Amino acid sequence: MKLTETVQTADFKSEKHVPVIHVEKADGLLKIKAIVGEEIEHPNTLEHHIAWIKVFFKPEGEKFPIEVGSYEFKAHGEGEIFTVPCVKTVVKTDKGGEVYALSYCNIHGLWENSVEA
């Protein structure tokens, strides 16, 4: 089995894993926000959590996406501190393209989403 065959894109009814992506274009910048659990919060405990989110941008006409951000979440309830799996980044480009976000749940694996930018 290939790793790409393990990436999921459809969510469960009771909890969310697929990253939601918001993109704003202005003055040659792409303002990107990726969040897991926007509508229904994902658990964030030592036993069950989103460990990381990676964000990629594939410019129009290019063959491969470029990794523009990699974010790890380390606080899952230690000392009553919880990391919310939400990231923001800004990319300088005049090109359109596609933004991808990949997230990893320590129990349910890899999850992907993409939007046109």
Q: Evaluate if residue 104 carries a pLDDT over 90.
A: yes
Give the active site residue among 42, 49, 54, 76.
42
CB-based contacts of 91, cutoff 8 Å, min separation 6: 29, 30, 32, 57, 68
Give the active site residue among 15, 38, 98, 112.
15
Give the active site residue among 13, 22, 58, 108.
108
Confidence of residue 13 (pLDDT cuts 50, 70, 90): low
- Annotated catalytic residue 15: yes
CB-based contacts of 105, cutoff 8 Å, min separation 6: 17, 42, 48, 49, 50, 51, 111
Q: Evaluate if residue 40 carries a pLDDT over 80.
A: yes
What mean pLDDT comes out for the span 25-51?
93
Give the active site residue among 31, 48, 58, 95.
48
Give the active site residue among 33, 49, 54, 105.
105
Domains along the sequence of the chain with CATH: 3-116 (2.60.40.730)
Number of CB atoms found within 10 A of residue 110's CB: 16
Measure CA of the first residue to CA of the last residue in the chain; give whole Å.
Answer: 31
What mean pLDDT comes out for the span 102-116?
96
| Residue 114 per-residue DSSP state | E
pLDDT of the residue at 11: 75
- Annotated catalytic residue 76: no
Residue-wise pLDDT tens digits, 41-100: 898 899 999 999 999 999 999 999 999 999 999 998 888 899 999 999 999 999 999 999
- Annotated catalytic residue 16: yes
- Annotated catalytic residue 22: no
**C-beta of residue 45 within 8 angstroms of C-beta of residue 24:** no
- Annotated catalytic residue 49: no
Rg (CA), the chain: 15
pLDDT of the residue at 78: 83
